[in-house]
């Protein structure tokens, strides 16, 4: 990672843009989807890098900075939305004792305290659950909501009513005596009773033992259902929860509260939101008061007069972390005096008076027994390490991600090696160290062929991922490839959707690839005997298939799913070649050129790239800027694979695409460069680009000084601003339709 001091402003701005998008994506996967893809430690590292860049370049802070975001927006959900009366904030993180000391020092500086005046802090374990706000009015629970994006959450009131830990009515217990360390003046209070409005905030969670029991129960229910249907039981068909947090989130966010009632959820309070009064003057006393009302709080909550005290408590909690009945990922410290909390206030998304001291990733040693290669639906080969099972942070780990070929090389791992495994968060663990890499054993050889179909597996220049070139003949990719082949942008076969493709694949009717689609008619009698298929629907499907026996050549090429060959690139290729049947011979010429013309010694990368571009454009007879080495080499790899040549020949024996001819009409945009931006409401982006080409215009993807016209739909953003800044003519979709109509389109 580039040192910040050596970054230019442009580089810093670009990295901040990438970080904002990446952090937002992974935040949504964690908070909204309950399906994190990276370890907590990796996510925290992204946030730290963003914070360091913002500190070094404060004038480059973006409106979508992660420091302005809390949680994730509530998107498609069967639950109603609730706007929080007081925003549910996030917490800043500390990762070392020095960070905690700096937090306490910041508090002192902000409050302008004398050096001798103690800053009392509370410390409690940070539950890894789902944040929830409970609104009580006159002691009765009237509303419960998830955090959502901090401002708007989901209404889970009926669901929360089923959680035994959460009382429907607060106990009006008089509780404790006077609070310790009272501040300079009283806060709004109603004596020692329950305020008319009091929002208690905390975490809904599932205990580890309850989580294991729930997954066991789901497995048994699946086994019983299979027995009832008299079919073989397949454990893979049972949807189990990945971890206790996912189980808690999935159980709470149910439209049917009876499902929530069947799940063993619990609750621990850690603070409050909107209130009409605060009966105590300190955080610790107020949490004890909430506990006296019948709401559980952490049994590890404690109050300390020094940083040394909270750090000792942190160490004690970390030591017993694996034995705790629930998952935690750190310890939270809060300034105890509530009047000081009020003075300290908040930054964009977090209070100045609190911080989360995160635990380091948990590690353990074990033996790597084997390396398996999994093939994804897009052909990516992913290595997975099989371990001698080991307990890491209370969880038994037997599989570990090895990411890609380069990561295996970096670690130098081989079956039989002793490795250090790290579990950070609840995603699949990773190997962080190879303890026996110096032992004299042969290195692991990453396969050069797909383990599923035997096709060549290659990594493109500049990429670390190795991909199977088998495409449609590879069983691991077949479903996704066929779904793409019949999709709207490709052959657009009406009535042949995902469900039908899956059914026909299972029956073995599409084993040879897309050509089998045109041979489905021979299964007519069998299909009529299957559930959901009637004579009308079967005949409609076959008619739709027959209508595509002479498909548009560019759509057919796009439908093959060759890497880097999108809809526009397919059209650009065929503008030069005209006849799609010429592609295999052209691909062979590219392959031969690459073998005969490697980069010469002393030849710069730039010169070599220019030489390849010129050669490939000559071979493919195209002039389009979008046809570069990546496209040409992807074509060469695809047609060099014998299985793909067989598939191609089989397909062209059933489908006969006519010569590709671009007919252009004179129009007011002939010779212009047109950019489409924003949402198009009456046509797809591909259709709009086709219209532009038919009118003699060039459809570009970005705005520049060479752009002549921008067609902007709703939601147009940076491209529209750039067009305005450059003085480029901008029209809307209706005006574009009028131009097309005027040209006879």
**Of 14-18, 57-61, 394-398, where does the model show the most confidence?**
14-18
pLDDT of amino acid 174: 47
Helix axes 244-252, 208-229, angle to 10 degrees: 70
Structural domain spans, the chain = 4-69, 93-358, 362-434, 554-654, 673-742
> Does the domain spanning 362-434 belong to CATH 2.40.50.140?
yes
- Residue 428 pLDDT greater than 80, yes or no: no
Average the pLDDT over 428-442 and give the result: 89
Regarding predicted confidence, which is higher, 350 or 300?
Answer: 300
- Residue 179 pLDDT greater than 90, yes or no: no
Per-residue pLDDT of 561-599, as tens digits, reads: 888 888 878 888 998 888 999 999 999 999 999 999 999
pLDDT of amino acid 181: 41
pLDDT of amino acid 272: 97
Per-residue pLDDT of 651-687, as tens digits, reads: 999 999 999 877 778 889 988 999 999 888 888 777 7
pLDDT of amino acid 414: 96
- Note whether 4-69 and 673-742 share their fold: no
pLDDT of amino acid 37: 65
531 pLDDT band, cuts 50/70/90, is confident
Regarding predicted confidence, which is higher, 593 or 188?
Answer: 593
**Average pLDDT for the chain:** 86
Q: What is the CATH T-level fold of the domain 4-69, as seen in this structure?
A: Helix Hairpins (1.10.287)
- Residue 39 pLDDT greater than 70, yes or no: no
Per-residue pLDDT of 685-741, as tens digits, reads: 777 887 888 888 888 878 888 899 999 988 888 888 888 888 999 999 999 999 988
Tell me how far apart the alpha carbons of residues 58 and 648 are, in angstroms, rounded to a whole number: 56
- Residue 413 pLDDT greater than 90, yes or no: yes
- Residue 241 pLDDT greater than 90, yes or no: no
pLDDT of amino acid 290: 96
The least confident of 67-71, 224-228, 492-496 is: 67-71
Tell me how far apart the alpha carbons of residues 512 and 646 are, in angstroms, rounded to a whole number: 9
425 pLDDT band, cuts 50/70/90, is low
Cα angle at 488 between 524 and 374, to 5 degrees? 80
Tell me how far apart the alpha carbons of residues 368 and 491 are, in angstroms, rounded to a whole number: 46
68 pLDDT band, cuts 50/70/90, is low
Residues 6+ apart with CB under 8 A from 635: 562, 565, 583, 586, 587, 590
Q: Which residues are catalytic?
A: 126
- Residue 78 pLDDT greater than 80, yes or no: no
pLDDT of amino acid 237: 67
**Burial annotation 662-671 (CB, 10 A radius, 16+ → b, else e):** eeeeebebee
Question: What top-level class would CATH report for the domain 93-358?
Answer: alpha beta
Average the pLDDT over 595-614 and give the result: 89
Per-residue pLDDT of 99-112, as tens digits, reads: 999 999 999 999 99
Q: What's the count of helices (H) and strands (E) in the chain, helices before strands? A: 24, 22
Tell me how far apart the alpha carbons of residues 740 and 369 are, in angstroms, rounded to a whole number: 64
> Does the domain spanning 673-742 belong to CATH 3.40.630.30?
no
Please provide the DSSP assignment of 418-455 as one string: EEEEEE-TTS--EEEEETTTTSS-PPP---SB-TTT--
Per-residue pLDDT of 336-371, as tens digits, reads: 999 999 999 988 778 999 999 998 877 888 999 999
Per-residue pLDDT of 500-521, as tens digits, reads: 998 999 899 998 889 999 999 9
**Of 66-80, 208-222, 256-270, where does the model show the most confidence?**
256-270
Average the pLDDT over 202-228 and give the result: 88
pTM: 0.50
Give the long-range contacts of residues 218-221, CB within 8 A, separation 24 or more.
none
């Amino acid at each position: 990672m580039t040192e910040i001091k050596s970054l230019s402003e442009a580089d810093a701005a670009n990295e901040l843009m990438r970080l904002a998008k990446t952090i937002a994506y992974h935040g949504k996967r964690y908070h909204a989807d309950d399906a994190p893809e990276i370890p907590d430690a990796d996510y925290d590292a992204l946030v730290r890098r963003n914070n360091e860049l913002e500190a070094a370049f404060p004038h480059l802070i973006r409106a979508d900075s992660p420091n302005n975001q809390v949680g994730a927006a509530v998107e498609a959900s069967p639950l109603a939305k609730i706007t929080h009366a007081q925003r549910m904030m996030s917490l800043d993180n500390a990762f070392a004792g020095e960070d905690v000391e700096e937090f306490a020092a910041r508090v002192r500086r902000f409050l302008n305290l004398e050096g001798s005046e103690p800053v009392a802090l509370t410390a409690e374990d940070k539950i890894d659950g789902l944040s929830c706000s409970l609104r009580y009015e006159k002691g009765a629970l009237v509303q419960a909501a998830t955090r959502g994006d901090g401002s708007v959450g989901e209404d889970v009131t009926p669901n929360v009513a089923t959680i035994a830990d959460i009382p429907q009515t607060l106990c009006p217990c008089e509780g404790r005596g006077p609070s310790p360390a009272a501040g300079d003046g009283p806060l709004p209070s109603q004596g020692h009773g329950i305020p008319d409005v009091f929002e208690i905030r905390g975490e809904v969670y599932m205990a580890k033992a309850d989580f294991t029991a729930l997954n066991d129960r789901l497995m048994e229910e699946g086994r019983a259902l299979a027995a009832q249907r008299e079919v073989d039981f397949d454990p893979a068909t049972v949807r189990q929860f990945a971890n206790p947090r996912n189980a808690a989130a999935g159980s709470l966010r149910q439209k049917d509260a009876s499902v929530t009632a069947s799940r063993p959820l619990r609750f621990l309070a850690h603070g409050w939101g909107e209130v009409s009064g605060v009966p105590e003057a300190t955080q610790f006393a107020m949490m004890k008061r909430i506990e006296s009302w019948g709401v559980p709080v952490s049994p590890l909550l404690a109050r300390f007069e020094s940083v040394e005290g909270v750090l000792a408590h942190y160490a004690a909690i970390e030591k017993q972390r694996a034995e705790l009945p629930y998952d935690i990922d750190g310890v939270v410290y809060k300034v105890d005096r509530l009047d000081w909390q009020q003075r300290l206030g908040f930054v964009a998304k977090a209070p100045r008076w609190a911080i989360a001291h995160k635990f380091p990733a948990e590690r353990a040693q074990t033996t790597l027994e084997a390396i398996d290669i999994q093939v994804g639906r897009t052909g990516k080969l992913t290595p997975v390490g099989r371990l001698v099972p080991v307990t890491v942070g209370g969880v038994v780990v037997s599989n570990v991600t090895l990411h890609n070929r380069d990561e295996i090389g970096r670690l130098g791992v081989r079956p039989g090696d002793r490795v250090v495994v790290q579990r950070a968060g609840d995603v699949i663990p990773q190997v962080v160290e190879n303890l026996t890499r110096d032992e004299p054993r042969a290195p692991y050889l990453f396969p050069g062929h797909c383990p599923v179909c035997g096709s060549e597996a290659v990594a493109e220049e500049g990429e670390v991922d190795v991909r199977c070139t088998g495409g449609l003949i590879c069983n691991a990719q077949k479903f996704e490839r066929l779904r793409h082949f019949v999709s709207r942008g490709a052959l657009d076969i009406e009535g042949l959707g995902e469900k039908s493709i899956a059914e026909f694949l299972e029956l073995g009717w599409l084993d040879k690839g897309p050509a089998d689609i045109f041979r489905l008619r021979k299964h007519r009698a069998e299909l009529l005997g299957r559930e959901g298929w009637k004579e009308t629907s079967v005949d409609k499907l076959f008619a739709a298939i027959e209508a595509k026996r002479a498909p548009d050549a560019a759509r057919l090429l796009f439908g093959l799913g060759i890497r880097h060959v999108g809809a526009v690139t397919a059209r650009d290729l065929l503008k030069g070649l005209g006849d799609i049947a010429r592609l295999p011979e052209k691909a062979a010429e590219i392959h031969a050129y690459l073998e005969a013309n490697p980069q010469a010694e002393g030849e710069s990368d730039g010169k070599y790239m220019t030489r390849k571009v010129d050669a490939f454009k000559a071979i493919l007879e195209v002039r389009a800027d979008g046809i570069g080495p990546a496209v040409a080499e992807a074509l060469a790899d695809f047609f060099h694979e014998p299985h793909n040549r067989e598939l191609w020949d089989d397909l062209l024996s059933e489908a006969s695409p006519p010569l590709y001819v671009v007919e252009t009409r004179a129009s007011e945009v002939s010779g212009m460069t047109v950019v489409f931006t924003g949402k198009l409401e009456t046509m797809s982006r591909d259709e709009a680009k086709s219209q532009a080409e038919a009118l003699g215009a060039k459809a570009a993807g970005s705005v520049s000084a060479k752009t002549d016209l921008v067609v902007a739909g709703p939601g147009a953003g940076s491209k529209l601003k750039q067009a305005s800044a450059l003085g480029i003519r901008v029209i809307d979709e209706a005006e574009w339709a009028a131009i097309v109509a005027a040209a006879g389109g």
